[in-house]
């Protein structure tokens, strides 16, 4: 079945007032406020075993009615995506590499035994939601409407098997600067007690369970005065994997840019792949390879590693200030400046916001 689903439209009869919306947009924060509408598409497996998507709709934002036995509430059969819509100077609204998010949603769906969603339906759900909530797209510097597509198993059944009823939804949240205010280098805690992912696990899938599993490590980070956690692969010479929700890069003095290779445990970040392309076009020697925590520590000590940074849709690119571990630490030589990181960040944000020409066809117009 390849036909694109038509979205029916039900407008909220209780949208937030223009004043309330203006107050939120003046200081959106991150992930705290939501727009007036939501996109929904249902999936059902019929008696003959064949499944299909139907009932695509825009409806008022509000609580989800769900049976307490819904599979997602018990076994965590859930996946999600995250991408941003930026308003350009002429008032048009664009999203960045949405096809990559559509493809990754389906990679995650296969791993979590959820149904794949056609790419056209994914893009159309974003387009319809942004059309309904265009007044919610923030216009401040670097601000955007954060889009959160997700898929949940809604079938009421306590047996353990892939659910026969699933719901795909999109919510939207105006987003200011992820870290609030100016861009400060993040401090990172090295978790040597917990892993984020393992061989054959779900590390490559964008699923809620990965985040639930990272929270204990995140608490440990906060107790040690850090903002984020770095996970290693203990069974592979303490190879660096990634942060709880961001990929990592290292800038070397000799002009190379190193990031951990996609080994099945690491999330395929769209920002990661964009940084790689932009860096290659600048003539940097980009290496996707194994890099261990010892190489980072020794590289900084010897002056070979000049910057470390983290990247993901929410925060775009953020310099890493310091890595703290139990009994030792690595102080980033770049603390604050991070010339390469900041320059790539500026180009990437420029493309997303329309200030820099999109020569790679990365943007899709939503409204
Ligand atoms: C989403 C995510 C990222 C970043 O991916 P982007 O597509 O760049 O936003 C990195 N790591 C994890 C674990 C993630 O869930």
> pLDDT tens for residues 250-300?
999 999 999 999 999 999 999 999 999 999 999 999 999 999 999 999 999
Region 119-134: mean pLDDT is: 98
Nearest CA to ligand 1 atom 1: 245
Indicate if the pLDDT at residue 1 is higher than 80.
no
Q: Residues spanned by CATH 3.30.470.10 within the chain?
A: 8-175
C-alpha span between 224 and 326 (Å, rounded):
9
- Residue 259, SS3 per DSSP: strand
Does domain 8-175 sit in CATH 1.10.1040.10? no
pLDDT confidence band for 141 (50 / 70 / 90)? confident
Q: What is the value of pTM for the model shown?
A: 0.96
C-alpha span between 222 and 123 (Å, rounded):
37
Report CA(45)–ligand 1 centroid distance (Å). 30
pLDDT of res. 3: 65
Give the residue among 84, 122, 86 at the shortest CA–CA distance from 7.
Answer: 122
- Can you read off the two tokens belonging to residue 24? 């939120």
pLDDT of res. 333: 65
- Can you read off the two tokens belonging to residue 342? 């900041």
- Using CB distances shorter than 6 Å, the residues near ligand 1 are 82, 206, 242, 245-247, 267, 269-272, 312-313
Query: Mean pLDDT score of the chain, rounded to an integer?
Result: 94
Domain 186-353 class in CATH: alpha beta
Percent of the chain with pLDDT over 90: 92
C-alpha span between 314 and 28 (Å, rounded):
13
Indicate if the pLDDT at residue 334 is higher than 80.
no
Paired with 331 in beta bridges are 322
Report CA(80)–ligand 1 centroid distance (Å). 11
Q: Which H or E element spans position 250?
A: strand 247-252
pLDDT of res. 238: 96
Pocket test for ligand 1, best of 209, 312, 318 (most atoms within 8 A of CB): 312
Ligand 1 atom with least separation from CA of 314: 9
Q: Residues spanned by CATH 3.20.10.10 within the chain?
A: 186-353
Region 160-186: mean pLDDT is: 88
pLDDT of res. 263: 92
Cβ atoms of 266 and 238 closer than 8 Å: no
pLDDT of res. 4: 77
Ligand 1 atom with least separation from CA of 268: 5
Ligand 1 atom with least separation from CA of 83: 9
Q: Which residue has the higher pLDDT, 333 or 293?
A: 293
Indicate if the pLDDT at residue 64 is higher than 80.
yes
Ligand 1 atom with least separation from CA of 244: 13
Report CA(16)–ligand 1 centroid distance (Å). 31
């Amino acid at each position: 079945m390849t036909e694109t689903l038509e979205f029916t439209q039900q407008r909220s009869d209780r949208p937030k007032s223009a004043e309330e919306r203006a107050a939120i947009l003046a200081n959106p924060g991150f992930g705290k406020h939501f727009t007036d509408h939501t996109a929904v598409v249902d999936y059902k497996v019929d008696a003959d075993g064949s499944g299909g998507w139907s009932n695509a709709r825009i409806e008022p934002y509000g609580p989800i009615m769900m049976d307490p036995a819904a599979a997602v509430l018990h076994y965590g059969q859930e996946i999600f995506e995250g991408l941003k819509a930026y308003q350009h100077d002429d008032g048009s609204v664009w999203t960045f590499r949405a096809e990559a998010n559509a493809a990754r949603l389906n990679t995650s769906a296969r791993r979590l035994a959820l149904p794949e969603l056609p790419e056209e339906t994914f893009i159309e759900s974003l387009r319809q939601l942004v059309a309904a909530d265009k007044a919610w797209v923030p216009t401040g510097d670097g601000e955007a409407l954060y889009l959160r597509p997700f898929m949940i198993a809604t079938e009421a059944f306590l047996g353990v098997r892939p659910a026969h009823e699933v719901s795909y939804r999109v919510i939207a949240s105006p987003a200011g600067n992820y870290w609030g205010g100016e861009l400060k280098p993040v401090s990172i805690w090295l978790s040597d007690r917990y892993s984020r992912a393992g061989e054959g696990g779900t590390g490559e899938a964008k699923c809620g369970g990965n985040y639930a599993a990272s929270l204990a490590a995140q608490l440990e980070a906060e107790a040690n005065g850090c903002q984020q956690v770095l996970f290693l692969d203990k069974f592979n010479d303490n190879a660096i994997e990634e942060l709880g929700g961001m990929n990592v890069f290292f800038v070397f003095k000799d002009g190379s840019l190193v990031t951990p290779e996609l080994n099945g445990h690491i999330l395929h970040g769209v920002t990661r792949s964009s940084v790689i392309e932009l860096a290659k076009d600048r003539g940097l020697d980009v290496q996707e390879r194994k890099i261990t925590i010892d190489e980072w520590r020794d590289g900084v000590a010897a002056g070979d590693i000049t910057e470390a940074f983290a990247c993901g849709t929410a925060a775009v690119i953020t310099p890493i200030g310091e890595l703290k571990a139990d009994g030792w630490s690595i102080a980033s030589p770049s603390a604050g400046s991070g010339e390469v990181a900041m320059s790539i960040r500026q180009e990437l944000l420029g493309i997303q916001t329309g200030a820099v020409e999109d020569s790679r066809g990365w943007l899709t117009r939503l409204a």
